[in-house]
């Protein structure tokens, strides 16, 4: 095992594995330690958003992940709410998960179980050269001006080793020991329910109950329970999440029990009770089903008060914990890793100033807070309306949440009229600095591809045909700074309008696919202007106050 990796990643689940493979795509040495014996053994996270699938696409994994997901789920399943699988439909949140996505992305939303996805991520990370160590836990962390020292314990032998890394990513879950050691508090709505997940298989065919509504997620709302199913495409295997028990729709019951006993499902769960709840959710009394496992967990909506402490960064559930409603947990964690990986790479190579790393907290923490609030709003409206809407954010459109969130930090050159909004519908953003670069299909070398496929490893300059002056200016400036810079002229007519520029404009896109800077036309094209822009984005010391 390496004793001096560039980056130590504590936690080898979805987010830790994503961080490892993304760092390796940038050529950064990393070590992952995970206390469990291997990848996930339960489905857990399963609904993956457009932005996450775009990240998987950039890592060369989209097709593999889609094929695996379609083994168990219909590719265009949706999300609805029913009295039971045998009962009437109450609401349809997404009749088709991918309706309208082709306007905004070359990818699609998908369902894949976490225990199917993690082995794919692990294989890719190891293929790229990441070092993974299972049955190993981090027992202490200290840091100084030059790096981080971590004590690792191998659980099989109880032997200890000290590893010295330049930086540490804590992806060690919602009860993160690393976060606790750093004294970083969580803020938000706190505990919502002590929930359970019931893993099961049916011994009769449930397909007739699902005819015409093969959804990825079926919420269940009745007088016995509130929660949701995720069933594989046969309908005969899956899991049921139960958040609440009892008839919480009756105001007199809610008023009579201020301690909300209906939210303490996990405290009284037994296999017999799990069977009763499962049958009530299916809607067929005495239906033969087998309980394979019951997991207890806490539905929480909280965000860390800071995502960075010196050389240590929080990511995934260590930074933000959300109820599963809306599928934000795993997605937001993967996007944390994507934001951080390129910044660590440029700082470790000496190309960017260390101030760039502070933009991780400045960019991701507000998005984490937004995500916590939106997941909470969906929990209230879909599962627990008894909590009321006081203090609840209005629901934000799903496209705006998935690919419309925006960054406001020194790693973006904002335009003078920018309102610093945290989100905007992708139809309206038109490559405003701080937003994800828009998807436009273009012809390159006789092949139809997305503008997003031109992005990923380096800073990329996208140019309208009349913007060639920016290519020379930015190229010369980047060379002097030692910054790898790719550039592409996009002759397609729809490109300037989609990116909010004229036929002589230019767009600079960061390695994570977010727009860093935009020139509407070519009037200011010069090497000094390009140099100042790049130095500002890279947070060079003499640009810190700019």
Residues annotated as part of the active site: 219
3-state secondary structure of 509: strand
- Tokens at residue 150, please? 């971590």
CA distance 224 to 247: 6
Contacts 24+ apart (CB under 8 A), 526-530: 526/473, 527/472, 527/473, 527/476, 527/477, 529/473, 530/470, 530/473, 530/474, 530/476, 530/477, 530/478
Which helix (H) or strand (E) is 275 found in, with range? Answer: helix 271-282
- What token pair was written down for 273? 């009770």
435 Cβ neighbours under 8 A, 6+ residues apart:
404, 406, 424, 426, 429, 514, 515
List phi, psi (to 5°) of 416.
-55, -35
Asked if 478 and 440 touch (Cβ cutoff 8 Å), the reply is no
Which of 517, 509, 512 shows the shortest CA–CA distance to 490? 509
Closest CA to 300 of 276, 326, 321: 321
Longest CA–CA separation in the chain, Å = 76
Q: Which two tokens stand for residue 384?
A: 């627990």
Give kind and range of the element (H or E) at residue 34: strand 30-34
Q: Report the alpha-carbon distance of residue 382 to residue 370 in Å, rounded.
A: 18
Q: What distance, in Å, lies between the first and last C-alpha atoms of the chain?
A: 42
Q: Which two tokens stand for residue 153?
A: 């314990």
Helices (H), 85-200: 114-127, 177-182
107 close to 399: Cβ distance less than 8 angstroms: no
Q: How far are the Cα atoms of 176, 244, 295, 333, 348 from residue 292, in angstroms, in the given order?
A: 28, 21, 10, 28, 47
Q: For 41-157, where are the alpha helices, taking DSSP H only?
A: 50-58, 62-70, 114-127
Q: Are 434 and 514 in contact (CB under 8 A)?
A: yes
What is the C-alpha to C-alpha distance for residues 89 and 214, in angstroms, rounded to an integer? Answer: 12
CA distance 244 to 238: 19
């Amino acid at each position: 095992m390496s004793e001096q990796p560039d980056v130590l990643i504590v936690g080898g689940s979805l987010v830790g594995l994503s961080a490892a493979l993304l760092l390796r795509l940038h050529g950064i040495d990393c070590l992952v330690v995970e206390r469990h014996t291997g990848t996930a053994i339960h489905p857990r996270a399963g609904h993956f958003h457009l932005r996450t699938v775009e990240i998987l696409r950039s890592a060369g994994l989209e097709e593999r992940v889609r094929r695996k997901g379609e083994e168990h789920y219909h590719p265009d399943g949706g999300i609805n709410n029913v009295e039971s699988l045998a009962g009437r439909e109450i609401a349809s949140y997404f009749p088709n998960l991918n309706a309208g996505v082709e306007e905004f992305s070359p990818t699609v939303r998908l369902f894949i179980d976490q225990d199917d996805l993690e082995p794919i991520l692990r294989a890719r990370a190891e293929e790229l050269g990441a070092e993974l160590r299972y049955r190993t836990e981090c027992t202490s962390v200290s840091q100084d001006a030059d790096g981080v020292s971590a004590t690792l314990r191998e659980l099989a032998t109880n032997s200890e080793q000290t590893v010295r890394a330049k930086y540490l990513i804590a992806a060690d879950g919602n009860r993160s020991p690393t976060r606790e050691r750093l004294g970083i508090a969580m803020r938000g709505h706190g505990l919502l329910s002590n929930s359970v997940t019931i893993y099961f298989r049916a011994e009769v065919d449930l397909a007739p109950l699902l005819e015409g509504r093969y959804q990825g997620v079926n919420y269940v709302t009745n007088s016995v329970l509130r929660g949701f199913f995720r069933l594989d495409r046969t309908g005969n295997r899956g899991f049921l999440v139960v958040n609440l028990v009892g008839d919480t729709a009756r105001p007199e019951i809610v008023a009579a029990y201020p301690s909300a006993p209906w939210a303490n499902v996990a405290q009284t769960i037994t296999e017999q009770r799990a069977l009763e709840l499962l049958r009530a959710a299916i809607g067929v009394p005495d239906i033969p089903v087998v309980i394979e496992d019951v997991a207890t967990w806490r539905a929480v909506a909280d965000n860390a008060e800071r995502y960075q402490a010196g050389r240590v960064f929080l990511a995934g559930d260590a930074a933000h914990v959300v109820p599963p409603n809306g599928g934000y947990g795993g997605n937001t964690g993967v996007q944390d890793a994507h934001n951080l990986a390129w910044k660590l790479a440029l700082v470790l190579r000496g190309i960017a100033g260390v101030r760039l790393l502070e933009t991780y907290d400045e960019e991701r923490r507000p998005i984490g807070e937004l995500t916590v609030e939106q997941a909470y709003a969906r929990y209230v409206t879909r599962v627990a309306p008894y909590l009321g809407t006081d203090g609840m954010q209005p629901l934000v459109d799903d496209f705006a949440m998935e690919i419309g969130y925006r960054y406001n930090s020194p790693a973006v050159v904002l335009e003078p009229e920018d309102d610093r909004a945290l989100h905007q519908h992708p139809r309206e953003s038109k490559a405003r600095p701080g937003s994800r670069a828009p998807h436009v299909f273009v012809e390159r070398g006789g092949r139809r591809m997305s503008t997003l496929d031109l992005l990923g490893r380096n800073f990329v300059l996208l140019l309208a045909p009349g913007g060639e002056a920016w290519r020379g200016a930015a190229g010369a400036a980047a060379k002097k700074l030692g910054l790898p810079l790719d550039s592409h002229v996009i002759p397609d007519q729809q490109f300037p309008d989609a990116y909010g520029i004229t036929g002589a404009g230019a767009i600079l896109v960061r390695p994570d696919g977010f727009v860093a800077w935009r020139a509407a036309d070519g009037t200011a094209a010069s090497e000094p202007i390009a140099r100042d822009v790049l130095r500002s984005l890279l947070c060079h010391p003499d640009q810190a106050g700019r």
